[in-house]
Every structure is written in structure tokens, then in C-alpha cells.
Amino acid sequence: MRLHQQRIIVTGGGSGLGLAVVERCVEEGANVLIVDRVEERLNEAQARLGDGVKGFVGDVCSMSSMQSAVEAAEEAFGGLDCVIGNAGIWDYSRRLDDTDPSQIEGAFDELFRINVLGYITLAKASIPALVRSRGSMVFTVSNAGFDAGGGGVLYTASKHAVVGLIKQLAHELAPAVRVNGVAPGPINTQLSGPEAMNMADRHIDELNLPENVGPGLAIGRVPETREYTGAFVHLASHQDSSPTTGSVLKVDCGIGIRGMTRAALGQKLIDKYS
């Protein structure tokens, strides 16, 4: 097993991609502390996945909460080998021109607080433990961290920031701790949006990505959530990725090579404002 006896924290691990990553890590032999805001999700995961999984109700935007999560992992497992930052929200590809001006400041604060600050607090809290174990950090990016069209301005900017965060942390923590990321393509999960945009109750699976997006992808389909988890296992594994730091593994369904397949999105603005 590639993660035999490794001790891992996964944030946003109670549902969607995070839960799939937890399940795969357990299969690969790891002990996992799941951080999530919803206690019911944690209880269900613990009951189903067994004693190697512990739940922690926490807020990734809170420094003290992440410090407590690290302490809980060390107490439960005797140490910490990897943290996987995954908690995030999406802006449903809301274009800037279509965004209510009164929502921009609040939505910016909310998206960057969860998508960027939530990774920084996890990183800061885990540095001492990971230095002791010569461990690693892995952060969920997105195809939007590299290419346009995976989100709106706010989400895309937040994921570009995460790419920079990974590179800077890898630089600061080398050679003691490796820092990498995974950039998935479309995922048909219950990812929600910012409250400031009245999207907190929306979920990405409402968009029926397999039918509406899948045929346009280079691989011809939207993968099952589980299919993305191997990239996280690879980067968390000491034996598989020990030379790798400061990198982002793209598992984006070929979005980066799709080419010129769409008309200019700004064409409607000419009609609107001219």
C-alpha cells in the first residue's frame, strides 16, 4: 500500500472530492483526520471507514481551529506526514459584467478567505509536525488555476493565487517539507458557492456536467470523482514522489489542449454597450 501507516489531514473531507480522497488514502493504508464543518458528514465517514479515520469539526479560515486539528491528528496517530488542503467554494463561472456591484467585495472576501486563507492556515499550523516527519503538503488547485473558463474572475483569481502559494511554500520549506498541488478538471459534486452571491445553497451537480460539459472535453467525458484521487496519493506518497516539490499535477481532462473551440465571450458586450 502506497500510503502505509502515513498520517494525513484532509480538509473539506466530508463530501465530494475531499471524501473520495479520504477513501482512497484509507485504501492505501493511511490514517486520516477529516476536517469538515458538518459533524454529520464526519460521523458517517467514521462509521463507514473504520478506526483509521477521525473527524474534526473545524473552520479552515481559523488559525486556532487548524492548530487544534493538527494537535488532534498528532494525538490520535502519533504524528503527521501529510496535509491535503481541499476545502473550497466556486463562483459558478459568474462573469464580472454580470455580477452585481454590491456583491463584489463580499464575494471576493469569501472566496479568497476559504480558497486561499484556508490553505495558508493549514500550512502554518502543520509546519512543525511536517518538519519533524519530513512530510508534505498537497493542495487542490483546479484547471482554473491555469486556463480560462473554469470559473469566473473571482474563482479563477483565487486558484491562480493557490498556484503561487504552492511555489512560494515549496521554496520556503525546502528541503524539510515538500509542497505540491493537484489541478483537477470538472467534477460532478456538491461544491457550493459564496453566500455573498446567494449561491450557498447551489451545488455544482445541478449543472449536469457529464451531459453538458463531458462531450466537449478532450477525453470525451467527465471523470468519476474517484478517478482524480490517484494524483493526490502519488504526491502524498514518500516512495512515489520524493523528488517532487513546487509542482502542480494537472489532471484536467485535456482542457489545456482543447484549442480554439469557442467564439469570443465578449461579443455580447459589444451588442450590450455599443
Report pLDDT digits (tens) over 46-92: 999 999 999 999 999 999 999 999 999 999 999 999 999 999 999 99
pLDDT for 189: 85
For residues 129 and 135, is the Cβ–Cβ distance under 8 A? yes
- Reported as a pLDDT band with limits 50, 70 and 90, residue 261 is low
Which helix (H) or strand (E) segment holds residue 76: the answer is helix 63-77
pLDDT band at 265 (very low <50, low <70, confident <90, very high): low
What per-residue confidence (pLDDT) applies to 264? 64
Among all residues, which ones are annotated catalytic? 155
Beta strands 248-251; 178-184: pairing state: parallel
Query: What is the four-CA torsion angle of 60, 236, 249, 170, rounded to 10 degrees?
Result: 70
pTM: 0.94
Q: Is the pLDDT of residue 138 over 80?
A: yes
Asked if 84 and 141 touch (Cβ cutoff 8 Å), the reply is: no
pLDDT recorded at residue 258: 76
Position 203 scores a pLDDT of: 86
Longest dimension (CA), the chain: 65
* Integer CA distances (angstroms), 203 to 38, 115, 118, 136, 146, in order: 16, 17, 20, 31, 23
- In the predicted structure, residue 268 carries a pLDDT above the cut 90: no
Q: Please report, for residues 6, 136, 164, 172, 175, the alpha-carbon distance to residue 243 in angstroms, rounded to integers and kept in the order given.
A: 18, 12, 20, 16, 10
The sign of the dihedral angle between the CA atoms of 205, 269, 109, 126 is: positive
Residue 176 backbone dihedrals phi, psi, to 5 degrees: -75, -40
Q: Distance of alpha carbon 239 from its chain centroid, rounded? A: 23
pLDDT at 259 over 70: no
- Model pLDDT, residue 37: 95
What does the pLDDT read at residue 28?
Answer: 97
Q: What is the pLDDT of residue 262?
A: 59
**For residue 247, what pLDDT band results from cuts at 50, 70 and 90?**
very high
Which one-letter amino acid corresponds to residue 234? H
Q: What is the pLDDT of residues 173-226, one digit of tens each?
A: 999 999 999 999 999 888 899 999 999 998 888 888 899 889 989 999 999 999
Q: Is there a contact between 139 and 166 (Cβ–Cβ < 8 Å)?
A: yes
Does residue 26 contact residue 259 with C-beta atoms inside 8 Å? Answer: no
Q: Which domains does the chain have, with CATH numbers?
A: 7-273 (3.40.50.720)
Report which secondary-structure segment, H or E, holds 248. Answer: strand 248-251
Are 67 and 61 contacting, i.e. CB atoms less than 8 angstroms apart? Answer: no
